[in-house]
Amino acid sequence: MENYDLIIRPKRHAFDINFKEIWAYRDLLKMFVKRDIITIYKQTVLGPIWFIVQPIMTTLIYIVVFGNIAKISTDGVPQALFYLAGITIWNYFAESFNTTAKTFTENAAIFGKVYFPRLIMPFAKVTSGLIKFGIQFMLFMAVYLYYIFSGDTSVNPNWNIALLPVYILLMAAYGLGAGIIFTSLTTKYRDLTFLLAFGVQLLMYASPVIYPVSTIENPKLQLIALYNPFTPILEGFKYAFLGAGHFSWFSLGYSAAVAAILLVSGIVIFHKTERNFIDTV
């Protein structure tokens, strides 16, 4: 009797997810991450420098438009530092969501020819996005340390900096969960792809990326803003490094609960879709 190293069985139900198999393919995950990092800027002039140029240019635009023209408060924090803080943590979610949302449509050819756990692909996108986040975070830290050592008293770091891994993990969960739900829907409803960029941009303006919650004077609107699950992450990140913002354990727990529900739902929907998506993509 022959022994097989790998046995591929049909999925019995939507919750039949083999995480042990995903772990066994971790080398493939590393390969996809390396591919994403190398190929994105392979034929560009500046290469990975674009990771730094993008947040710098965005910050400058925000300073001119929202800081000087619209006169939106930054809670007494230097504008460059306030906007860069919001951009850095938000870009990780946006990058994770945008890339994982195209998983099925961009990889239909390889999915139809080679077997491997399909979740490897979105996991690789979120992991490669973490490298981009690390580069942009170093830029933020360079500007941050400049203000610290220049004696700017408006910047007040605190012990909440220790929660940085939690904020990163939550943004990864939101990006992955929302992305794999979106890509599952686009296998049948292709026109949803046109809403991708617009939806992320709209969601950014609905979240306290370029403004603090304290600037919302209407109590009802402020309550709505606090119920936004991204608010505890964005406000908490700014509060940790800048000392300006809103933080509470209840809000962070609420955001974590929503992220967990979104991620579990996304994995289940993705797992259910992958069984027959090749017939509709």
Q: Residue 244: its pLDDT value, please? A: 86
Residue 276's nearest CA partner among 61, 111, 59 is 111
Residues of the chain with pLDDT under 70: 1-18, 41-48, 275-281
> What predicted TM-score, i.e. pTM, was given to this entire model?
0.88
Could you tell me if 82 and 89 are in contact, meaning their C-beta atoms sit under 8 angstroms apart?
Answer: no
Burial 191-220 (b: 16+ CB within 10 A, else e): eeeeebeebbeebbeebbbbbbbeebeeee
Q: Residue 154: its pLDDT value, please? A: 86
Q: Residue 84: its pLDDT value, please? A: 94
Q: Residue 108: its pLDDT value, please? A: 72
Give the rounded distance of the alpha carbon of 2 from its chain centre: 46
- The CB density around residue 227, as the number of other CB atoms within 10 Å, is 11
Q: Which helix (H) or strand (E) holds 79?
A: helix 79-100
